[in-house]
Amino acid sequence: MARRRGMMSDHLKEEIAKELGFYDTVQSEGWGGIKSRDAGNMVKRAIEMAEANMQQKGRS
């Protein structure tokens, strides 16, 4: 079975993890080491960023 590709780039995930304060966990334990709450907050932040980007493009 083919592995699914993620929706977010690794760079974006790392930037959000830094912003939310759990990038040190990612570095030491990998993405599997973060709490589910942190993963949820990361997704929520990515959605907020995408919505803001869409609004900016709509104004242009």
Task: State how far the alpha carbon of 22 is from the alpha carbons of 26, 33, 54, in Å.
Answer: 7, 10, 27
For residues 18-24, average pLDDT: 97
Closest C-alpha to 49, from 3, 5, 11, 1 = 11
**Confidence category of residue 2, pLDDT binned at 50, 70, 90:** low
For residues 16-29, average pLDDT: 97
Residue 60, SS3 per DSSP? coil
Taking the model in full, what pTM does it have?
A: 0.80
**For residue 58, what pLDDT is reported?**
83
